[in-house]
Structure 1
Amino acid sequence: MKIGYARVSTTGQDYETQLAKLKAEGCKEIFSEKQSGKSTDDREQLQAALKFARKGDVLIVTKLDRLARSMGDLWQIARELDNKGAAFKVLDQEGMDTSNATGKLLFTILGGIAEFERDLINARTAEGRAAAKAKGVKFGRPGKLEADQVEAVKADVKAGELSMQAIADKHGISRKTVYRLAGAKDAA
């Protein structure tokens, strides 16, 4: 039996094209999900497809990176299918069918390239983040308080006339934030 697996990384993406290709290939059962490809552990539909596979079945994906992005994960999936007497096939990489020796070789080569590509993406992202930080870009959620409001909180703490909770209530922030700002003042 031909079993299809379709995946996109984010909820804003759509896997309709993948589903159409899998149906055209003759997949009788199709598993699909919107989940990051970074790891196979959190992908419930992939796990269900692997569990569903039986001897003689072929798990089909449209592109290799829809299945996994690391060689470790690819080998684990290939081994699991092989142990069941099943194989997998990649539609957009002609010849990628682990039911034959040539397909297994192609699988190894393209899997290595997919992992290399993922490592390059991670390296470029890290470089971009470092460059942005060097330019003073702040990451994360924007602060709730403006600079003058932070100074007012610090002044209230320094004056010592109000409790930390009263200062928090006065400025519409949490008591934890007041303590954090007070600690930052003491450290300066």
Structure 2
Amino acid sequence: MARIGYARVSTIDQDLQLQLDRLRSEGCEIIRSEKVSGGTREGRAELATVIEFLRRDDELVVTRLDRLGRDTRDVLNIVHECQQRGAFVTVLDPHVSTRGEVGHVVLTVLGMVAQMERRFIKERQREGIARAKAALMYKGGSPRLDHKLIHKLHIEGLGASAIARQAGCSRMQVYRVLAKTVATAT
């Protein structure tokens, strides 16, 4: 039986350290982490790796449910996939585990709350943008990635991993920037 930790933050400028420390202190022998949105499972390669690695009686541990996902259906599908492998999911805050039926019900409710919270955040963001636009103060979001640098490094022949290191982003983001350019060119 292995305790496998999974840590996630939404953007590259956020810090994973608190989650990593907590997972280590809870006895996770293996910890996988990534910096990608939890809105969907798309692009979450580390989570897919963890789920593939799970064996009977293993335990997937996350610090909070929203680290696993912000969509109820995704969270329930992840839990289901873990259970299909004979593994359990444990959320540390609040402490809930799928080892029992009650834990599964609580995770379902918490998943719905996480999804609702995400909707509230998006609604508040839309309202704030609308107010800023009305006051002629809205400048739009600032680009987080240097697309020109990514293209320059790609033209120089660097691979996705090297580009990601230099641009301070993930390989997946490099692929997306390069794919977007190809899609716009066609």
TM-score w.r.t. length of structure 1: 0.71
- The answer to whether structure 1 residue 119 and structure 2 residue 123 are counterparts is no
What does the per-residue CA deviation read over 1:30-78, in whole Å, with 9 as the maximum and x for residues that have no partner?
1011112221111111111111111111100011111100101101101
The answer for the alignment partner of 1:35 in structure 2 is 36
- The answer to whether structure 1 residue 110 and structure 2 residue 114 are counterparts is no
The answer for the alignment partner of 2:130 in structure 1 is 130
Query: 1:46-85 counterparts in 2 under 5 A?
Result: 46-85=47-86
CA distance in 2, matches of 1:77, 1:4: 14
Distance change in 2, residues 1:90/1:141 (3 Å): closer
CA distance in 2, matches of 1:105, 1:83: 17
Query: Contact 2:129/2:138 (CA < 8 Å) preserved in 1?
Result: no
Q: Which runs of 5+ in 2 are unaligned?
A: 143-186
The answer for the alignment partner of 1:15 in structure 2 is 16
CA distance in 2, matches of 1:47, 1:41: 10
The answer for the alignment partner of 2:153 in structure 1 is none
Query: 1:95-174 counterparts in 2 under 5 A?
Result: 96-140=96-140
Supply the RMSD in Å over aligned alpha carbons.
1.6
The answer for the alignment partner of 2:157 in structure 1 is none
CA distance in 2, matches of 1:30, 1:141: 32
Q: Which runs of 5+ in 1 are unaligned?
A: 143-188
Rg larger in structure: 1
SS of match in other structure, 1:136: coil
Matched AA of 2:65? L
CA distance in 1, matches of 2:88, 2:19: 19
SS of match in other structure, 1:85: coil
**Runs of 4+ with deviation above 4 angstroms:** none
Moved more, 130-139 or 52-61: 130-139
Deviation at 1:138, TM superposition (A): 4.0
CA distance in 1, matches of 2:68, 2:76: 11
Greater relative contact order structure (CA < 8 Å, 6+ sep): 2
**Equivalenced residues, count:** 141
SS of match in other structure, 2:27: coil
Distance change in 2, residues 1:17/1:134 (3 Å): same
The answer for the alignment partner of 2:182 in structure 1 is none
Matched AA of 2:129? R
SS of match in other structure, 1:10: coil
CA distance in 2, matches of 1:119, 1:133: 21
CA distance in 2, matches of 1:22, 1:141: 33
CA distance in 2, matches of 1:84, 1:141: 41
Distance change in 2, residues 1:100/1:124 (3 Å): same
